[in-house]
Amino acid sequence: MWESSYISTGGINYEDLLFKFRDHLEEQEYDRVILTRFEDSRFEPEHGIIREFVNEVYDYAYGWEDNEDTQGEDFCEGGTHSERVYIAEWMRSLSGDVYISGAFEGECIEDLEIALSHVGVKFNKIRSLIL
C-alpha cells in the first residue's frame, strides 16, 4: 500500500526493509520485540523473516482526527501528523531500554513518539531503521 512512499523516502522497498530489520534483530538481544501494524494484529506471510524475533503484534491506528471518539483518556494531543494520538494499553507496560523504528518519520513514528512520551516511556530511535 505504501510502496511508493518507501521508495521515495528511503530508496528501499518493503521487502528490503524487512531484511534490514531481520539483520538488525539477529545482531541484537532484545528482551521484547513488538510489531505494530496499521489496524491489524496478525502476522502476514511477508513477516516470516522477522517472525522468530517478534514477541507480540498489536494493531495501532495512526493519524487520528480530533473528534468525540478521540476525547477519552486513551488519546492525547497530537503533533503535525495527527490531531490526536492513541495511547495503547501495551505502551504503559514498557520499561527499561525502549527502541523504536519503522516507517515513516514525521508520520507514524511521530505518533508513536508522542504516545510514548505521554505515558512517560523514554525511548531511543534506531535511525538506520526509520524511513
Express each pLDDT in 55-112 by its tens digit.
Answer: 999 988 877 889 888 888 899 999 998 999 999 999 999 999 999 998 888 888 999 9
DSSP-derived secondary structure letter, 107: T
Q: What is the pLDDT of residue 57?
A: 94
Strand ranges inside the chain, DSSP E: 34-37, 56-59, 75-77, 84-86, 99-102, 124-130
Q: Rounded to an integer, what distance in angstroms lies between the CA atom of residue 121 and that of residue 131?
A: 22
3-state secondary structure at position 106: coil
Determine the structural domain holding residue 22 and report its residue range.
3-130
Looking at residue 83, the DSSP 8-state letter turns out to be S
Query: How much is the pTM?
Result: 0.88
CA distance 90 to 55: 13
Domains in the chain, number = 1
| 5: pLDDT strictly greater than 70 | no
